[in-house]
Structure 1
């Protein structure tokens, strides 16, 4: 017997959104009203592998994305793809720690590892071209608004793992912007069906304030998109 995974996926997204993103829960309730013959609306979520460009010792950091999307039909097989990622973290790990001016603290974390996490609301605006109704080609621009940023100091000691989290406030600029593009695939030929794919974001602006070192974001997002309230034409 074939298993229908769509209800399970919807329940998973509902649980996540109910706990962390009321905006997404509201969009679920009004999904049917937001869909029309020319507009596809739904949830998008997945894993994001982010990094800092221009930082030599930075390593990739795994995060999760969650948000909603709109595909607006402009002409045959051509769409405007946009939306909002209401839960989207970027940053990097594996970097060297820095002193905070406390002798005891600096001594503990001197040989530790630094991880930076920055929370953004990202809005992509892309041209989407569909090939044979299933292959999706997307490219455009993306802008983000920072909400919070943290430095996480971490070190493994004989007594176990020690971690310290420092809120960075306005150490990072409020805005981020760059280009975005990728490939996707619709799981059915229906105009409105689930799709999977990836998007790569290439930040073009320096996001670190009051620093001699340029830091620009980059991320690879593997996504699943689920239309909400979409009804196929007979």
Structure 2
């Protein structure tokens, strides 16, 4: 399943790039609200995400958007009135298929692969590194929507749900559950199609 998702991501990027009419780049960032599933009394942990993207437009309605993002994730919980925070940081590569209902508004969905860069727990003044106990690669699926203003600035919201158990050698099925809301800016696009545009 995981290999299939990754293969689909690569094949889709290659196919859309070969047939792209326009190619544009941009930056994005905002707030993440995350928690781990199947975690007793789990509470959300707010953090940030930031990175860049390429938008490969096939036509006026359909496009493919691969991204490279830093994402702060994890969860909070309070066993026996003690506050414990799991801070899990990832470099995520989502590949979102976008459909524009109108030029400004779009819906999106697609797979994501994430690479764990750090993992720590905090309980009071005690910090423990748990990087060795977390899986190096995390697979997920997501969906979202966005609105882009004519000047290139836009707002977007997305929900990503994990398909991989976060921890190594764990009997619990703890998976990432992450909501994102933020802003993006798209630079002026470039035409890549070999076909001449009509004047």
**Could you say which TM-score interval applies, normalised by the shorter chain?**
0.7 to 0.9
- Bigger helix fraction: 1
Q: What is the distance in 2 between the residues matched to 1:200 and 1:115? A: 21
Which is higher, the Rg of structure 1 or of structure 2?
1
Moved over 3 A (4+): none
* Aligned-pair Cα RMSD in Å: 1.9
Q: How many residue pairs get matched?
A: 172
Q: Which runs of 5+ in 2 are unaligned?
A: 1-19, 192-199
Q: What is the distance in 2 between the residues matched to 1:173 and 1:46? A: 25
Q: Report how far residue 95 of structure 1 moved.
A: 3.8
Scaled by the length of structure 1, the TM-score of the pair is: 0.69
1:19-58 matches, cutoff 5 A:
38-58=22-42
Q: Report how far residue 177 of structure 1 moved.
A: 0.7
SS of equivalent to 1:75: coil
Tell whether the 8 Å contact from 2:162 to 2:177 is kept in structure 1 after alignment: yes
Scaled by the length of structure 2, the TM-score of the pair is: 0.81
SS of equivalent to 2:40: coil
Tell whether the 8 Å contact from 2:60 to 2:103 is kept in structure 1 after alignment: no
**Equivalent residue, structure 1, for 2:162:** 203
**Alpha-carbon displacement from aligned partner over 1:4-33 (angstroms, at most 9, x marks no partner):** xxxxxxxxxxxxxxxxxxxxxxxxxxxxxx
1:65 to 49, 54, 63: 49
1:184 to 146, 159, 166: 146
Q: Report how far residue 172 of structure 1 moved.
A: 0.4
Q: Report how far residue 37 of structure 1 moved.
A: 6.7
Which structure has the higher relative contact order (CA within 8 Å, separation 6+)?
2
Q: Which runs of 5+ in 1 are unaligned?
A: 1-35, 97-109, 155-162
